[in-house]
Amino acid sequence: MFIDNLSSAKNPKFKDLVLLSQKSKERRERALFVTEGVRETEAALSAGYKLRELFFCPEITYSTGDVTERVESKYKAEKYFTLTPDLYAKAAFREGTEGIIAVFLNKTVSLNNIRLSPLPLVIVLESVEKPGNLGAVLRTADAANADAVIICDPLTDIFNPNVIRASLGGVFTTCVTACTSEEAYLWLKSNNIKIFSAQIQDSEWYHKTDMRVPAAIVMGTESHGLKPYWRERADFRIRIPMNGSLDSLNVSVATAIICFEALRQREFK
């Protein structure tokens, strides 16, 4: 394979890599995203994303032995680049990622692409803002084998490197799409999926609510909770007991609690 060796931070190709890693507008306009590390890169490949460019640091990748073989045989990129240790340190978000950074071509996932199981479990997030929270929810979605995660009116980029990192590649193993709240609501109703809104107002304990039906768990933000749009349209309104001084949990924690209660109930259906 032909490899272009990069050794200067002023190299246009290196600048382009950093720009894609840091700017959501750039990723969105060019329909590209960046992964870092073997696990995340292979998860994207397994999900069918097209690998455009592969950047690797020989001093790091070669020290792990089998990664060299992966670079040469498994990573079928259009272009390959090597990075010096200094350049890799500048481009990488974290340590211990085997010296691998990849640029993938994005693909559009719409509501129509979601394949539902006989007893669907869907997670709906309203205006999620923090990449770390979104990534953690995606890990939960993978663990719970949720049919999809629908992000309504998103305030963060699905392919933000922090989302990919926090999800441990779960952004690729789960069907994830973004749309408006109205589009999500109409899609849920057309598929006969019941809406379970997590809220404090006019709600029942989550563990006393029957979730052995096609279910969408709708979560709001920690700061403001769900907007009236979802609260007014919910089939069931549920809440998690809060016995301390605070009135809410981190959205990723709350999502995990409710998802696994749904799974527990379904085990005994």
Enumerate residues 6+ apart whose C-beta is below 8 A from 256. 140, 143, 144
pLDDT of residue 169: 87
pLDDT of residue 154: 79
- Measured in degrees and rounded to the nearest 5, phi and psi for residue 122 equal -120, 140
CB 262 within 8 A of CB 248: no
CB 83 within 8 A of CB 117: no
Distances from the Cα of 251 to the Cα of 97, 146, 176, 217, angstroms: 27, 16, 17, 12
CB 57 within 8 A of CB 88: yes
pLDDT one-digit tens code per residue, 11-46: 999 999 999 999 999 999 999 999 998 889 989 999
pLDDT band at 87 (very low <50, low <70, confident <90, very high): very high
pLDDT one-digit tens code per residue, 131-158: 899 999 999 999 999 999 999 987 788 8
Distance CA 187, CA 245 (A): 37
Enumerate residues 6+ apart whose C-beta is below 8 A from 195. 124, 185, 188, 216, 218, 230, 233, 234, 235, 236
Provide the β-strand partners of residue 150.
Answer: 124, 177
Q: Is 79 exposed, middle or buried (0-12, 13-18, 19+ CB in 10 A)?
A: middle
Domains (ranges, CATH) in the chain?
3-105 (3.30.1330.30), 111-267 (3.40.1280.10)
pLDDT one-digit tens code per residue, 236-265: 999 998 888 777 788 999 999 999 999 999
Task: Kindly state the helix (H) or strand (E) to which residue 152 belongs, with its residue range.
Answer: strand 148-152
Instruction: Give Rg (Cα) of the chain.
Output: 21
CB 102 within 8 A of CB 172: no
The answer on pLDDT for 268 being more than 90 is: no
The answer on pLDDT for 96 being more than 70 is: no
pLDDT one-digit tens code per residue, 97-109: 788 899 999 988 8
Cα–Cα nearest to 215, from 137, 148, 134, 140: 148
pLDDT of residue 5: 87
* Interior/surface letters 86-114, b for 16+ CB within 10 angstroms, e for the rest: ebbeebbeeeebbbbbbbbeeeeeebeeb
- The residue written with tokens 């549920």 in the block is 238
Distance CA 161, CA 253 (A): 21
The gap from C-alpha 226 to its chain's centroid, in whole angstroms, comes to 20
